[in-house]
Amino acid sequence: MNIVVTGAAGFIGSNLVKALNARGETKIIAVDNLQQADKFRNLVDCEIVEYFDQDEFQARLAEGELDDDIVAILHQGACSNTMETDGRYMLANNYRYSMSLLRHCQDNDIPFLYASSAAVYGAGPVFREEAAAEAPLNVYGYSKLLFDQHVRRTLPERTSQIAGFRYFNVYGPREAHKGRMASVVWHFFNQYRSTGKVQLFEGSGGYDAGEQRRDFVSVDDVIKVNLDFLDHPLRSGIFNVGTGSAATFNAVAAATINACRATDGMPVLSFEELHHTGAIEYIGFPPGLAGRYQSFTQADLTRLRAAGYTASMLTVEEGVAGCVKALLARGEVNP
């Protein structure tokens, strides 16, 4: 029996495959769309039993070829470009595709764990898994919310586990292929390594320069949550996955720079010192993001904890330090 990971060549998907390998799981069917071929690099050091293109996988499922071969589906595949304006493409990838996989899992009693997003909350200020808090700012967030709404209707009559995870701002290795959509940690790391400084947006949404705040969560914690739920198939529902604490972009920039400095044997500097020396500077807020930007996010973890997930989350300083080490080890620099 195989575990299916969709979006397997992507950021979270490839980290999930690698973590499954570390647990001794090698019977993994990787599913993705390699139209962006460079993503293959994320799977080079992973062991899988089969790879299917997304369209081929859906066809094989429809034909019943894999009915007896799947023990769980970990659905990470999606169009994650929050700037995408083609709503038909977004809904086909993030809603219809997810619907077909969920239907198959329910028909065949297969656990289904999937990636949702904190984008469903829009500008907040409440980030709790309930309809009153949900107001996406873009079609990406809407595509995720639309599927979550269907899941809510399905949960009372589910035949097997359904667990959706609303990821907040995830960072870590294996995201070089995302380009401008990669995490700010990845961008800060590459900026600092190439120029000796990082650039942040000026003030927006009532926040001073670099003081916008988001819940930045390490991909290591995201993977731990997924695997913990995989090990507990009686848990179902929709859950926030973040640290539960918002951090400023200034703090993330300082943590990234200091992690880079530490690898070079240099002492830690305060944010004020980094700003004074020009290692942190500010650029104009992009007009295209006006009205579509989350200036504050902070996961409410009440439901995740109530479901039985008790592990602590990495702080920004801990998570960024580990991320920088991993990026350096992988040679993951701006292509």
Q: Which sequence positions are flagged as catalytic? A: 140, 178
Token pair listed for 82: 């929050």
Burial (CB count within 10 angstroms: exposed 0-12, middle 13-18, buried 19+), residue 267: exposed
How many whole angstroms separate alpha carbon 122 and alpha carbon 287? 18
CA distance 282 to 210: 8
Q: Determine contact, residues 225/153, Cβ cutoff 8 Å.
A: no
Say how far apart CA 240 and CA 54 lie, in whole Å. Answer: 26
What's the number of CA atoms in the CB half-sphere (13 Å) around residue 306?
Answer: 10
What secondary structure does DSSP assign to 41-103, as a single string? GGGTT---SEEEEHHHHHHHHHTTTTTTTEEEEEE------TT---HHHHHIIIIIHHHHHHH
Which residue, among 187, 202, 181, has the nearest Cα to 320 in the 3D structure?
187
Coil, strand, or helix at residue 110?
coil
